[in-house]
Structures are given as C-alpha cells and as structure tokens.
C-alpha cells in the first residue's frame, strides 16, 4: 500500500519542479515581452490608417483583442504566412512569421490575463510613412483603372478590371508598386500583363506582375535584375473588394520605375506559371479531398527567386518539389494552411534560392478540400472545377525564375558552395 502511494508521489514531485522552473519566464507582460513581437510582426499592418481591423501598437489598442490574438497566432493564421516551416527551404526575404517561441510568449501573456507590465520597459514604437506615398520612389509610369463602385452591404466581390498602358517601347522594370485609392474596401489586388503576342503557353489571364495587400509596399528588383514590360501590353487588375456599410468608390494604380532606356539588365526575371498541364483540368467532387499534380521541365538552367501558390476557396495545401537529374526529389516549399484571402509571395533568401540545372523537373502538388472541414469552403455539397470565379477553383503556382547560361550557373553554384564552407 505504502509502496503504491510512493509510486504516485513521484510524478507529483516532478510536476511541482516543472512548475517552479517555468514560472519566472511565464510572467509575460505586454511592455517587455509582447510589444517587441507585435512591433516586429504585426504593426506594419495593424496600425492606424490601414485596412486591418485594429491597431496593435499600444496596450490599450491590443488588450481588447487578447483572446482573438491567441487564437489567430496559435492557428498560424496571423501573421499571414502559410508555409509548413518543418520542410523545404527555411529562409525567405519577406518572412513575417512568428517563431514557436514568439507564439508561446503571446499565449502565456494571454493566459496570464494579458497584463500590461512596467511602462518603462515599453519599446519605442516603429513609425510608418503615409500609405499614400510611393515606397519605391518617384514612378516613371502610372496606370490606373476606371472608377469602381462597391455596394454598401453584401458578400465580398472578386472582379477583373482592365487598363491600357501608354508605353511606346519595351522597358525593363526596376520596381513596381500597387495602390488602391480606397484602401478600406480593397483586400487585395493582383496585376497581370496581357501582352499583344504572348509566347506559347502563356495563360489567357496573363502573366503576374505584382500584388497588393495591406502591409506590402512594392517590389524592387535586385541590382542588374528586372522584368521586361512590352509596349502595347494591357493590364488586368484582379480585385478583391469587401463591403463596409456605405457605398464606396475605388481606382487602383500600379506604378513602375524603369531602368534607363537602352539598359538591359543582366538577369531577367520571368513570372512562370505551373499548372496541371496538359489536361489543365480540375475535378473536385462534393465532400472530397482531391490531389492534383502538375509538372514543368526546366529547358534552361534556372534560379528560382520566389514561390506563390494560387488556388481558390477550396485550396488547402500546395507543395513544390524538384525532381533532380539523378532522380532524387527534394521539397522546395510547401504551404500547408493555404488561405485564399492572402496572395503571399514567398521570396527565397539570396543564398537559399534554388539553383537548378536544365532538365530538372518541377513538380507541383495541390490539395483541394471540398469538405465541411475546410472553413473557407462556400459549399461542400457542390462539384467545383477550374474557373476564374472565386466559387470555381484553380491550381497554379507562380514562380519568379531567372534563366542562367552555363558559365553563370556554374559560377553561382560555386559561390554557394564556398559560402556554405565558410559558414
Ligand atoms: C500583412 C498584414 C498583417 C499582418 C503582418 C498581421 N495582420 Fe492581423 N490582420 C490583418 C488583416 C487585413 C486582418 C483582417 C482580415 C483577416 O482577418 O484576414 C487581420 C485580422 C487579425 C485578427 C482578427 C481580428 C478580428 O476581427 O477578429 C487578429 C486577432 C489579428 N489580425 C492579429 C494579428 C497579430 C497578433 C499579428 C502579429 C503577430 C498580425 N495580426 C499580423 C493583417 C495583418
């Protein structure tokens, strides 16, 4: 009998010790532990004057949202970054995700009743320029859509708007930035180029140039790197609007800065879509989870600069693999909790961007979830197929690719090896 009691005592003692060890670090306060995380990972969107529903800059701003914050960060729903961080390439230039430790800190803070803490410990708040500024600098060309009128009440509206460019000759883009005139009703905007004579294989919907969402301030290409904008191109603005209780107007503008006339950058960035070609079909029966595959064989040596999955409301996951020449496969990136509301472009860190020789096959795996378990699913009882409407679905990954000749490719591979040795 005594022996049994003793046995039970052992775990109890361990527990007490565990608590004693954890207690000091679990006293998380807003000013000391939480505010630095919010300033780093939330404030760029959650500050006064943006479309985000609230500011998270001060204790007073953040306190009422504590429960919602805990939930969103635990689900890795906020900040919007949907990669499975346990596989593939780990380093991205625009990574805004929270570390497991950050999440723990926030959760402990909320669980402790979201205390404010010592005011003196509050870090200096970051400052943000006016949303009306062009963050990429004075533009060379502005292209604006016609006025769009959004109803006061009703469901979100996804719509294509078009605009003609006035560009007399081809120009090399150095940077791009998109701004809606009325940020309060625009969730996102993605701009596509519709060239007059597009190369074979270009989707009818155009080639992706850039995307806008709150907290995102344009794209600047690296030194001697750019994208070619052809004279006579039309632009398609893929817009996602939401209703805010009164009728609203919006025009969206994309700004371009170009390299000087006659200058041809050494590295051309091409936006390359991979779809499930050749059949390019999507069959998503009711109440099912469907996997669809697509392949793309690199005809030339390539560096892949970014990865951006595109699916609609039933999209749940997408993985990009490289099938190497020696027949081994490697996961490059995998999104495991896709969210159609966010068009996140995952930009590889300079020394992590995959360098792949000609002949490598890129393999895209898409998962669509047409069951009730998918919270974004508008209706699990209907069949869905490929289409432009948001209630239809899509499966496409956009890659920014730079093609490299053999000499340049070997040079970059060698450079990478040397760096890896030093580290
Ligand atoms: C890239 C911009 C962006 C970043 C970064 C971001 N948010 Fe958000 N957040 C939004 C937008 C826009 C919404 C409203 C639309 C939505 O829910 O998608 C939102 C919604 C929320 C909500 C839900 C509010 C509600 O109405 O219930 C919470 C909570 C939240 N964010 C917390 C955070 C926290 C905490 C961080 C940082 C750890 C963060 N967000 C980072 C843009 C952002």
Question: pLDDT for 46-91, tens place per residue?
Answer: 998 888 889 999 999 999 999 999 999 999 999 999 999 999 999 9
What is the best residue among 36, 72, 217 to mutate for testing ligand 1's pocket, by most ligand atoms within 8 Å of CB?
72
Residues in the chain: 423
Domain match, 108 and 157 both = no
Q: How many CB atoms lie within 10 A of CB 133?
A: 12
CA of residue 344 to ligand 1 center, whole Å: 14
Q: How confident is the model at residue 6 (pLDDT cuts 50, 70, 90)?
A: very low
Domain range enclosing 233: 134-265
Rounded to two decimals, the pTM is 0.88
Domain match, 160 and 68 both = no
Q: Atom 28, ligand 1: which residue's CA is nearest?
A: 69
> Taking Cα atoms as reference points, which of 300, 311, 303 lies closest to residue 276?
311
* Cα 76–Cα 78–Cα 83 angle in degrees, nearest 5: 50
Mean pLDDT of the chain: 89
Pairing of strands 219-220, 171-180: antiparallel
Alpha-carbon span 231 to 164, nearest angstrom:
10
Q: Atom 13, ligand 1: which residue's CA is nearest?
A: 52
Domain match, 219 and 283 both = no
Query: Which pLDDT does position 185 carry in this prediction?
Result: 92
CB distance 319 to 263 below 8 Å: no
CA of residue 73 to ligand 1 center, whole Å: 9
Q: Give the phi and the psi of residue 236 in degrees, each rounded to 5.
A: -110, 125
Q: Which atom of ligand 1 is nearest to the CA of 213?
A: 1
Domain match, 277 and 408 both = yes
Q: What is the pLDDT of residues 386-422, one digit of tens each?
A: 876 777 888 889 999 999 999 999 999 999 998 887 7
Query: Which pLDDT does position 9 carry in this prediction?
Result: 41
Q: Atom 7, ligand 1: which residue's CA is nearest?
A: 79
Q: Tell me which DSSP letter residue 391 carries.
A: T
Last residue of a domain, one of 265, 283, 309: 265
Q: What percent of the chain has pLDDT over 70?
A: 92
Domain match, 245 and 294 both = no
Q: Atom 24, ligand 1: which residue's CA is nearest?
A: 53
Domain match, 312 and 376 both = yes
Q: Give the phi and the psi of residue 276 in degrees, each rounded to 5.
A: -85, 55
Q: Tell me which DSSP letter residue 163 carries.
A: E
Query: Which pLDDT does position 12 carry in this prediction?
Result: 41
Alpha-carbon span 267 to 401, nearest angstrom:
10
| Residue 210 placed within a domain | yes
Cis amide bond preceding 370, omega within 30 = no
Q: Atom 15, ligand 1: which residue's CA is nearest?
A: 52
Establish whether residue 47 lines the binding site of ligand 1, counting it when its CB lies within 6 angstroms of any ligand atom: no
| Residue 126 placed within a domain | no
Q: Which atom of ligand 1 is nearest to the CA of 69?
A: 29
CB distance 395 to 282 below 8 Å: yes
Establish whether residue 72 lines the binding site of ligand 1, counting it when its CB lies within 6 angstroms of any ligand atom: yes
Domain match, 78 and 63 both = yes
Beta bridge partners of 235: 163, 193
Q: Which atom of ligand 1 is nearest to the CA of 339?
A: 18
Domain match, 179 and 287 both = no
| Residue 407 placed within a domain | yes
The residue written with tokens 């099912």 in the block is 288
Q: What is the pLDDT of residues 292-318, one digit of tens each?
A: 999 999 999 999 999 999 898 999 999
Query: Which pLDDT does position 338 carry in this prediction?
Result: 94
Number of domains in the chain: 3
Establish whether residue 80 lines the binding site of ligand 1, counting it when its CB lies within 6 angstroms of any ligand atom: yes
Q: Give the phi and the psi of residue 56 in degrees, each rounded to 5.
A: -125, 30
Q: How confident is the model at residue 423 (pLDDT cuts 50, 70, 90)?
A: low
Q: Give the phi and the psi of residue 374 in degrees, each rounded to 5.
A: -90, 110
Alpha-carbon span 205 to 160, nearest angstrom:
10
Alpha-carbon span 318 to 308, nearest angstrom:
10
Q: Atom 12, ligand 1: which residue's CA is nearest?
A: 52
Q: Which atom of ligand 1 is nearest to the CA of 65?
A: 29
């Amino acid at each position: 009998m005594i022996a049994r009691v003793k046995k039970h005592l052992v775990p109890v003692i361990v527990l007490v010790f565990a608590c004693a060890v954890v207690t000091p670090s679990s006293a998380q306060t807003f000013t000391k532990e939480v505010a630095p995380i919010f300033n780093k990972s939330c404030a760029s969107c959650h500050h006064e004057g943006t479309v985000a529903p609230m500011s998270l800059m001060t204790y007073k701003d953040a306190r009422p949202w504590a429960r919602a914050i805990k939930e969103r960060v635990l689900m890795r729903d906020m900040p919007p970054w949907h990669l499975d961080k346990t596989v593939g390439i780990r380093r991205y230039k625009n990574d805004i995700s929270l570390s497991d430790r950050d999440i723990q800190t926030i959760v402990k803070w909320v669980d402790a009743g979201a205390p404010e803490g010592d005011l003196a410990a509050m870090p200096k708040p970051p400052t943000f320029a006016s949303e009306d500024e062009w963050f990429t600098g004075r533009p060379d060309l502005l292209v604006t859509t016609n006025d769009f009128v959004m109803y006061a009440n009703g469901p979100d509206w996804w719509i294509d708007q078009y605009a003609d460019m006035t560009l007399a000759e081809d120009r090399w883009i150095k940077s791009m930035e998109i701004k809606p005139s009325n940020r309060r009703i625009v969730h996102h905007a993605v701009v596509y180029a519709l060239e007059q004579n597009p190369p074979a294989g270009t989707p009818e919907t155009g080639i992706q140039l850039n995307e806008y969402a709150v907290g995102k301030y344009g794209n600047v290409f690296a030194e001697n790197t750019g994208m070619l904008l052809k004279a006579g191109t039309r632009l398609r603005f893929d817009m996602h609007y939401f209703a805010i209780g009164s009728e609203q107007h919006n025009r969206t503008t994309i700004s371009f800065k170009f390299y000087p006339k006659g200058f041809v950058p050494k590295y051309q960035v091409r936006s390359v879509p991979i779809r499930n070609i050749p059949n390019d079909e999507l069959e998503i029966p009711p109440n099912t989870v469907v996997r669809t595959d697509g392949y793309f064989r690199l005809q030339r040596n390539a560096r892949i600069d970014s990865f951006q999955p595109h699916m609609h409301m039933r999209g749940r996951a997408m993985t990009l693999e490289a099938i190497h020449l020696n027949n081994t496969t490697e996961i490059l990136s995998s999104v495991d909790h896709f969210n159609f509301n966010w068009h996140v472009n995952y930009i590889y860190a300079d020394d992590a961007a995959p360098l792949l020789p000609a002949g490598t096959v890129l393999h895209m795996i898409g998962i669509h979830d047409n069951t009730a378990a998918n919270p974004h699913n508008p209706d699990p009882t209907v069949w869905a197929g490929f289409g432009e409407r948001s209630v239809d679905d899509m499966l496409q990954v956009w890659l920014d690719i730079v093609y490299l000749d053999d000499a340049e490719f070997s040079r970059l591979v060698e450079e990478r090896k040397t760096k890896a040795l030093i580290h």
